[in-house]
């Protein structure tokens, strides 16, 4: 008699599953006649008294053209992870969808959530897989990631930033990416060293107002940053990550904190 059939082992690695099924995105050579890429900027994250605030303007540009002011650049990957995209939205959004599916696939197949280090490495792996496109100057993504570390008591939120080749770095208190990131980093560094209140002591409403005003300032020095203009109903994408989960900050709340 033949041997009994055994089901294939389930490792919980969704990215490996895509590779085995030949479903991974193939690399494509750049063309001199290719259209100007759409770019998304500016995003940042910083630690405040309750967790991590991650925000981004909503502008996407193609060269000197404004494509739209309605891009959502901060994405909840699961209940305890946030991704902020800077770079080519088409590539970044595809990475976000793969990560969302990967995290959920692992949770369902292994009956437990993926650890924070594994989630951080999963994004690094996607960036490395995108290396051929990055080296050709197309599809470049420079994201930020925030997640909750449940291996410590009490659980603690962490911020990570990446280079286009997939190297990952843990930020102590803040990180920024995109064309307006220089202005944002300068403001955050000054506020941490000399400002009052310091970002890590701010309440949620103080942190939201601070983030929106930083985007207003960045927009004054960078045409690719859409900024915030309540009079024109132009707001940012703002999400807060606490150990308990993710909260999206509505436009009404953004308008309210700016008028206080």
**Domain at 125, CATH number:** 3.60.20.10
Which candidate in 41, 134, 183, 237 is catalytic?
41
DSSP state at residue 58: -
| Banded pLDDT at 74 (limits 50, 70, 90) | very high
CA–CA dist 112, 106 (Å, integer): 7
> pLDDT, tens digit, for every residue of 100-144?
999 999 999 999 999 999 999 999 999 999 988 888 777 899 999
| 3-state helix vs strand vs coil in the chain, percent to 5 | 35, 25, 40
The answer as to whether 29 is a domain residue is no
> pLDDT, tens digit, for every residue of 187-213?
999 999 999 999 999 999 999 999 999
Say how many domains are in the chain.
1
H or E stretch including 94?
Answer: helix 89-110
Contacts 24+ apart (CB under 8 A), 71-74: 71/40, 72/237, 73/40, 73/43, 73/237, 74/43, 74/237, 74/238, 74/239
The answer as to whether 114 is a domain residue is yes
The answer as to whether 5 is a domain residue is no
| 41 carries an active-site annotation | yes
Query: What range does the domain containing 53 cover?
Result: 38-258
Question: Could you give the dihedral angle defined by the CA atoms of residues 248, 166, 128 and 73, in that order, rounded to the nearest 10 degrees?
Answer: 20
The answer as to whether 152 is a domain residue is yes
Would the pLDDT of 214 be above 80? yes
Q: Average the pLDDT over each of 7-21, 72-86, 98-112, 159-173 and give the range with the smallest value.
A: 7-21
Q: Average the pLDDT over each of 5-19, 106-120, 165-179 and give the range with the smallest value.
A: 5-19
The answer as to whether 32 is a domain residue is no
């Amino acid at each position: 008699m033949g041997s009994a059939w055994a089901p294939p082992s389930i490792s919980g690695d969704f990215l490996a599953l895509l590779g085995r099924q030949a479903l991974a995105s193939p690399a494509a050579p750049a063309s001199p006649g290719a259209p100007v890429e759409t770019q998304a900027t500016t995003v940042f994250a910083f630690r405040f008294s309750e967790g991590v605030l991650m925000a981004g303007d909503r502008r996407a540009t193609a060269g000197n053209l404004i494509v739209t002011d309605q891009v959502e650049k901060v994405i909840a990957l699961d209940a305890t992870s946030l991704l902020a995209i800077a770079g080519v939205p088409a590539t970044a959004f595809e990475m976000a969808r793969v990560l969302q599916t990967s995290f959920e696939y692992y949770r369902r197949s292994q009956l437990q959530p993926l650890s924070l280090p594994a989630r951080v490495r999963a994004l690094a792996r996607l960036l490395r897989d995108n290396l051929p496109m990055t080296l050709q100057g197309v599809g470049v993504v420079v994201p930020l990631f925030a997640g909750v570390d449940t291996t410590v008591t009490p659980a603690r939120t962490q911020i990570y930033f990446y280079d286009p080749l997939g190297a990952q770095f843990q930020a102590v208190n803040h990180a920024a990416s995109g064309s307006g990131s220089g202005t944002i980093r300068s403001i955050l560094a000054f506020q941490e060293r000399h400002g009052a209140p310091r970002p890590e002591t701010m309440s949620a409403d103080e942190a939201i107002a601070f983030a929106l005003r930083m985007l207003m300032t960045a927009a004054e020095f960078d045409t690719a940053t859409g900024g915030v203009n309540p009079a024109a109903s132009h707001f940012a994408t703002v999400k807060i990550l606490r150990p308990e989960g993710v909260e999206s900050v509505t436009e009404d709340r953004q308008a309210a904190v700016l008028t206080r």
